[in-house]
Structure 1
């Protein structure tokens, strides 16, 4: 009997100690934790797509996995690079916050050879409600044996910039057969467009840099019905707004590396750094 009473008493004492310990822990004052999911900052960051093409279709900025058709990889400016073909392209399922960005910077490295017969699309953010995409870069054909300059056309929210040698906008020099870095930006705060070649801002006339909406500054961009994102082809090649691609619409056959889109206009120094560090 005494043994039972002793065991019972010991059990009560142990329970009291445990309960006391728990209660004391619960009464400890601790600062309230404000937990922010890791992906919140990432999803809202200016860098909305970053494709290093390390033999992978994964977007290293937002972790979207692309869907590739006949894409191969070659040595790039840094590691591996995307290699296009006449039947190749890469698409991503969402335009993410690029769909609502009011400013932007696009940065990329390209290495390509001359082509004929039409215009190759390097990339495009589609517009499901229009023939033209929301944001894209095209390279026109060049069949000259002596002229190594490139005629490129850049479009953002319906604003065309054509580097065609007219109106003070020169064709891009010595662009074929070597790696060149390109960057394009637009700043909604100043309504100014800028283009860069190998880290250096190009001298463009005010008619190109100072974007207007009638007589007023253009202001914040408004992309329309943006959907998906395409590397190496036009939106028509992925069925937007339909599956009918004109004969002049060619897929990009060159190499592409370190492709980035930011939702803000980078500074001259930042773009220069992307070039010098081969990012």
Structure 2
């Protein structure tokens, strides 16, 4: 009886071996792989806002569109660009990872004409508990036909940098009627601020670059009550705080390739942004 069972099992083994060999010799059709992209690196990377303005207010990092008012999209430095107006703005209802960032780089292309009167806001990270926002840049008026320089004021966490021609900080040269690339950064590790025009570092005095608080290095930033983000307007224009003052104006010029990083890019990296 045992011999019969043993012979039967041996036969089954050889039949299985032959069948598997036959199958392995066949060319099998394999279904295509459905690869799902991993967005983790993009969503958690240092680039946390990227507006290309390709006929839309899309932040391509988070695939979120802002709310648009008074804005058109025109031929820009690269593809299409933002074109502002006296009511133009793009509002994002959530500041996301821009709110807790402790270092930053803001970089963009701009092309604008002179304006009179008050100051135009290029962008702002609002602060609900204060008149001034957490992070913003604004342009003061210039009606001098013989002066093509720009008086730009930049603020981050209460730290003012005024490109006004005073205190060793020159007005930005030849800024109107052409595309110029601007970048601003702050590095919590060195407590240094830097500014760049067309990929080159702007020469700034140590009193401007070396940021201090109570005679000690400023260190990591701490934005307060950060809410929303707006292109082309002050926070008051989107309902944060009181009504806007008469001098608060929307940005009427063009913007392109607007990027915000949660780290300080190196001079080489900013040079590469300009070269792109």
For this structure pair, what is the TM-score category when the shorter chain's length is used for normalisation?
0.7 to 0.9
Structure 2 counterpart SS, 1:97: helix
Structure 2: runs of 5+ lacking an equivalent: 1-35
4+ residue segments displaced more than 6 Å: none
SS at 2:74's partner residue? strand
Q: Deviations over 1:226-263 (max 9, x none)?
A: 01100000000000023x00000000000000000000
Deviation at 1:176, TM superposition (A): 0.1
Q: TM-score, normalised on structure 2? A: 0.86
Q: What is residue 263 of structure 1 aligned with on the other side? A: 262
The answer as to 2:138 corresponding to 1:138 is yes
Taking the TM superposition and a 5 Å limit, the aligned residue runs for 1:158-237 are 158-237=158-237
**For 1:100, what is the secondary structure of its paired residue?**
coil
Q: Which residue of 2 aligns with 1:19?
A: none
Q: Distance in 1 between matches of 2:202 and 2:63?
A: 33
- CA shift for structure 1 position 61: 1.3
1:74: how far off? 1.1
Count of residue pairs brought into register by the alignment = 242
Q: Please give the root-mean-square deviation of Cα atoms over the aligned residues, in Å.
A: 1.3
Deviation string, structure 1 residues 133-189 (Cα, Å, up to 9, x no partner) = 100000000010100000000000110000000010000000000000000000000
- In the TM superposition, residue 65 of structure 1 has moved relative to its aligned partner by 1.2
Aligned partner of 1:97 in structure 2 is: 97
CA shift digits 1:181-237 (9 cap, x unpaired): 000000000000000000000000000000001110000000001011000000000
CA distance in 2, matches of 1:168, 1:70: 37
Aligned to 2:22: none
- The 3-state SS of whatever aligns with 1:38 is coil
Structure 1 counterpart of 2:42 = 42
Secondary structure of the structure 2 residue equivalent to 1:171: coil
Q: Deviations over 1:95-146 (max 9, x none)?
A: 1111000000000000000000100000000001111010000000001010
The residue aligned with 1:250 is: 249
* Alignment gaps of 5+ in structure 1: 1-35
Q: How far apart, CA to CA, are the structure 1 residues paired with 2:251 and 2:66?
A: 17
Structure 1 residue 37: Cα displacement: 8.7
Between 259-268 and 39-48, report the one with greater CA deviation.
39-48
